[in-house]
Structure 1
Amino acid sequence: MHGISCGHTDMDLVVDWIHEYLGEDVYVKNMEIGDGYWNSIFDTMIDSVSEFANNIQSDPILSSAEKINIIAHSQAGVFGIPKLNIEWVDKLLQETPYIALAQKEVNPAQYWKDPLKYQDYLENCVYLPYLNNEVAKKNPDYRKNIISLDQFVMVKSLIDNTVVPKESAWFDFYDENMKVVSYNTTTAYKEDWIGIRTLAESNRLFYRTTMCQHKYYPRKEGLANFIKNTLPFLK
């Protein structure tokens, strides 16, 4: 699954790597949501996730498989991303990400987490606070789905200059003083709001690091990262 401002062709090389190291007979579905680039920016996250699920469920091979692997690049809770070079979108994200227009029309606004306006985020962000079970009424299905995983591999680039903060690749995030704190010290982890603690305590959660820049994960520069942090979990 590709990330924002990308399409499925951006993941073609990853497909090639899987076939090279695991065999040509391995079935790989290179997922596209809508038309790729534009829909990755302007679809709602709920619509994107629904389409992703429908694409799996409508695929006779994936839908009948006992288990599948999902490899996803990018798209996480962030507080700052490089400009998309769409003037009004960049302005909304930087200044008013929680107004109705941004939440309805701009995909990144729906996982934009502002630690300086946390209550505004909780009340007006339509996607991430619900997915993270940060709202008062928790959805038990989100925790149940995470707990059902055989393994959850989180890869953080130590030189990431795209995801802000880079530590959010491990669910770590800013506190109200803009200091990055470990997710493992939060109430969300201790009370196991989304099942991360359960995975960790059952040895199914894997924290990995790389020196690959964020944008190079699915490119030729990312091969070493793929071999180190993805391939071992596909065998």
Structure 2
Amino acid sequence: MMDTRALLVAAALLGVVVRASPTGGSNGSLPLVLWHGMGDSCCNPLSMGAIKKMVEEEIPGIYVLSLKIGKTVIEDTENGFFMDVNQQVSVVCEQLTQDPQFRGGYNAMGFSQGGQFLRAVAQRCPSPPMKNLISVGGQHQGVFGLPRCPGENSAICDFIRKKLTSGAYTDLVQKHLVQAQYWHDPLNEELYRTHSLFLADINQERAVNESYKKNLQALNKFVLVKFLQDTVVDPVDSEWFGFFKAGQAVETETLQESDLYREDRLGLAVMDKAGKLVFLTSDGDHLQFNRAWFTAKLLPYLR
């Protein structure tokens, strides 16, 4: 089983992204972009490095880019906590634009917070075109709780919990703490809509940006994976665009019951009716799955 809690011990030990050959995609497959989750890095041989290797073994000749935000793996890990998400998305968009491997389009797979970050790439950066987006445990309606913070340094996790509790929507915390940018407080919806720098924007909470809808609807498939025994994401329904009902933090509603769907601010209702939304489950804790499940459930969207 792939358990990120155990894997993160090695997250800062490697140095560079190992890419496929510059002439990757020799089998006709689209390139693949991977974005890791909180506390992880681009190149950990036991997590993202293992995923990259697995895909390359299953689809020989595929070009795989595991995103590294920063010059080193340590910077990449730290930026997953402290670098403005909007800036990270801009960096990735520029990187994909400049890489000739992606000119014909690409598939994308995000793990945990990397799932909503890659959705922002799809909505904001239509060129080069993203074809399929796979969100593995992504929190698309945000989180309201941090039950277990992955990472080697418990002091970082304690710091994050303290800041989120004391003032997630202050300008300082919003600009300098990644998790605050997708902190969604159902008890203070107006505060969230007004001050969330990232999630409220990509979820069209303040205004509808028609280009966001158009770009997201251009996807062939948007695959959402929910972990049925997840003890990290609160609420876990966020992995399928569900969330707590407004004004309380006990009962949840599905995507289809939400205003986001009924008003179709992102075009998800249209995508759902067109068969473009795919809802998958994995019977494990957060980001825990085996190769057989990955091969059977996710690889078909990469071939």
TM-score normalized by the length of structure 2: 0.72
TM-superposition CA deviations, 1:138-173 (whole Å, max 9, x none) = 111211111010100000000111111111000000
Contact in 2 for aligned 1:159/1:213 (Cα 8 Å): yes
Structure 1 portions without partners, runs of 5+? none
Matched, 1:101 2:172: yes
**Alignment match, 1:134:** 205
Matched, 1:16 2:16: no
Matched, 1:120 2:191: yes
**Alignment match, 2:299:** 231
Contact in 2 for aligned 1:212/1:225 (Cα 8 Å): no
Q: What percent identity do the matched residue pairs reach?
A: 30
TM-superposition CA deviations, 1:34-92 (whole Å, max 9, x none) = 22110111001101111111121111111x22x21101001121111224632332201
Question: Compared with structure 1, are the counterparts of its residues 52 and 233 closer, same or farther at alpha carbon in structure 2 (3 Å cutoff)?
Answer: same
Question: Which residue identity lines up with residue 231 of structure 1 in the other structure?
Answer: L
**Structure (1 or 2) with the greater helix fraction:** 1
Distance in structure 1 (CA, Å) of the matches to 2:297 and 2:43? 21
Contact in 2 for aligned 1:159/1:211 (Cα 8 Å): yes
Q: What's the secondary structure of 2:280's corresponding residue?
A: strand
Matched, 1:143 2:183: no
Question: Compared with structure 1, are the counterparts of its residues 180 and 228 closer, same or farther at alpha carbon in structure 2 (3 Å cutoff)?
Answer: farther
Contact in 2 for aligned 1:147/1:195 (Cα 8 Å): yes
TM-score normalized by the length of structure 1: 0.92
Question: Which residue identity lines up with residue 12 of structure 1 in the other structure?
Answer: G
**Structure (1 or 2) with the greater strand fraction:** 2
Contact in 1 for aligned 2:181/2:197 (Cα 8 Å): yes
Count of residues paired in the alignment: 227
**Alignment match, 1:78:** 143
Question: Which residue identity lines up with residue 256 of structure 2 in the other structure?
Answer: N
**Alignment match, 2:100:** 60
Question: Which residue identity lines up with residue 42 of structure 1 in the other structure?
Answer: F
**Alignment match, 2:125:** none
After TM superposition, give the deviation of residue 174 of structure 1 in Å: 0.4
**Alignment match, 1:48:** 88
User: 1:164-175 maps to which residues of 2 (within 5 A)?
Assistant: 164-175=234-245
Determine which of 39, 45, 50 is the counterpart of 1:5.
39
Distance in structure 2 (CA, Å) of the matches to 1:228 and 1:156? 16
Distance in structure 1 (CA, Å) of the matches to 2:97 and 2:297? 27
Distance in structure 1 (CA, Å) of the matches to 2:94 and 2:41? 18
Q: What is the root-mean-square deviation of aligned Cα atoms in Å?
A: 1.4
Contact in 1 for aligned 2:83/2:177 (Cα 8 Å): yes
Distance in structure 2 (CA, Å) of the matches to 1:224 and 1:94? 39
After TM superposition, give the deviation of residue 222 of structure 1 in Å: 3.3
Question: Which residue identity lines up with residue 188 of structure 2 in the other structure?
Answer: K
Contact in 2 for aligned 1:5/1:36 (Cα 8 Å): no
TM-superposition CA deviations, 1:186-217 (whole Å, max 9, x none) = 2210221011111111111100000132143x
Distance in structure 2 (CA, Å) of the matches to 1:205 and 1:173? 17
After TM superposition, give the deviation of residue 233 of structure 1 in Å: 1.1
Contact in 2 for aligned 1:44/1:104 (Cα 8 Å): yes
Q: Which moved more, 1:113-122 or 1:79-88?
A: 79-88
Q: What's the secondary structure of 2:144's corresponding residue?
A: coil
Q: What's the secondary structure of 1:197's corresponding residue?
A: helix
Structure 2 portions without partners, runs of 5+? 1-34, 114-138
